[in-house]
Structure 1
């Protein structure tokens, strides 16, 4: 079926007290694995392509985005396409031209006032293009230019500031810093459920958890119960993929990439199906 609105998927999940899983795709194999897993698990998903992934593809957005559009058209479940961690407002218009229904604009690295002003500009462009916009307040750990760890004082999202930010910018969803970190390779993050609940009570938009690969299934279930409506997963997919590729390439006679890419792709699918079964109450869009 055609791509659906990421915003509608998140809204439906929030209304039902659950979350939609959003998976980052770097390669075609990632995207194929995500779609296959969604169909096996019979759940809607969001496929995310980050600004960094587009840089990896030579700065070309269209080829990888078009592959997701094509995969979604043959899928029996709802799939949204989201542009993740954009740091340049020029990318917003490009997103709307390439099948994306939503964008995460990331100016959280700036002081609060600059984050607000940059996000307002991104929101204006998003509205002109008919896009749903996510932004970040606080600072999720694990980014290359992170000023502090995810656990230092002043880094986590302040509920009052979050409410002011949403009101000032008019964003559609808010990514919050509540104890997770990007690029975690162990599932040891301890999320602050009480803080999530306080933020959820303070704002009128759905909350998003970044860096979710580092959280256990139990932690993710707790985050959903506390008010998270969108859960982003990236690093765990890469771990699953690469582990299987290494196993195959231990045989030094292997040269056909289909042998190891297919194993890596299957590992991603298996991981996602297991995650859905462990964590998710399946959101349905009416």
Structure 2
């Protein structure tokens, strides 16, 4: 099936009252697992490569992007390719040389006015090239060693009025908001502010994005989609499945040196995790 655009998948999900999941790709096995899990669930998905993953691969985007897009093109379900949490303007611009239809440009650590200016510049650049731009407003903690942040901590949650002004000033296509989730959570204990999600949904004209969904329980994800969340980002849950499968295999088979022996189970574990998250996102879920 041809690689599709992020905009197409997000707009279709929003129109149907369901969510669309975006899963982080670090290795080829991640990409293969996302495709396999999506095929198992019979659902579309987004493969996303973060700036941190690019750094892991020596700052070289092309090889991982080509591998992920090739996996997507050979899948039997619609898949899109997204560049995530981009701080570097050079990396942003490199998206135009690959198969990315969307970028999450992350200026959230900048002061508000600087965030608006940098993001508006990214949007102008992206829209001139047909690239859909996501941005973040608020503080979704847990990124790169940051502590998790509670949704009710003063100054942490995304303000609906500020979000409306931010969307109008930047022209972004989707908005990641802080409503109680946190990056890099290995336990699914986050409690979301669903009243705030509904208020944000009413305040802004673009789809809302939930980062840090690995730490959000099933019922909270279902409720978040019902309240207005559309794009649901998942990363750590795949790594937890991957590492757990490798650890279990090597504990049982300590003399193994062929990586295919343990990467196979790791890929299967990630595919099951993908299928599980996708099962939560339909309007009937």
Fold match (TM-score > 0.5): yes
For 1:227 and 1:282, how far apart are their aligned partners in 2?
11
Determine helix, strand or coil for the equivalent of 2:46: strand
For 1:206 and 1:222, how far apart are their aligned partners in 2?
16
What is the CA distance between 1:146 and its match in structure 2? 4.3
Determine helix, strand or coil for the equivalent of 2:143: coil
**Equivalent residue for 1:21?**
21
Q: Deviations over 1:57-102 (max 9, x none)?
A: 1111110110111111211110000000000222222112110000
Q: Deviations over 1:135-158 (max 9, x none)?
A: 000010112374882442111100
Answer with 38-47 or 162-171: which moved more. 38-47
**Equivalent residue for 1:55?**
55
Contact 1:23 1:34 in 2 (8 A): yes
Contact 1:43 1:282 in 2 (8 A): no
Determine helix, strand or coil for the equivalent of 2:119: helix
For 1:144 and 1:98, how far apart are their aligned partners in 2?
26
**Equivalent residue for 2:259?**
257
Contact 1:34 1:272 in 2 (8 A): yes
Answer with 90-99 or 154-163: which moved more. 90-99
Q: TM-score, normalised by structure 2?
A: 0.96
Q: Which stretches of structure 1, 4 residues or longer, exceed 3 Å deviation after superposition?
A: 145-148
> Mapping of 1:74-85 within 5 angstroms?
74-85=74-85
What is the CA distance between 1:28 and its match in structure 2? 0.3
Q: Deviations over 1:199-240 (max 9, x none)?
A: 000000000000000001100000000000000000000000
For 1:246 and 1:282, how far apart are their aligned partners in 2?
36
For 2:123 and 2:50, how far apart are their aligned partners in 1?
18
CA RMSD of aligned residues (A): 1.4
Which 5+ residue runs of structure 1 have no aligned equivalent? none
Q: Deviations over 1:93-147 (max 9, x none)?
A: 2112110000000011111111101101111111122100000000101123748
Distance of aligned partners of 1:92 and 1:173 in 2 relative to their CA distance in 1, 3 Å threshold: same
**Equivalent residue for 2:276?**
274
Distance of aligned partners of 1:124 and 1:28 in 2 relative to their CA distance in 1, 3 Å threshold: same
For 1:80 and 1:253, how far apart are their aligned partners in 2?
39
**Equivalent residue for 1:87?**
87
Q: TM-score, normalised by structure 1?
A: 0.96
Determine helix, strand or coil for the equivalent of 1:110: coil
Determine helix, strand or coil for the equivalent of 2:260: helix
Which 5+ residue runs of structure 2 have no aligned equivalent? none
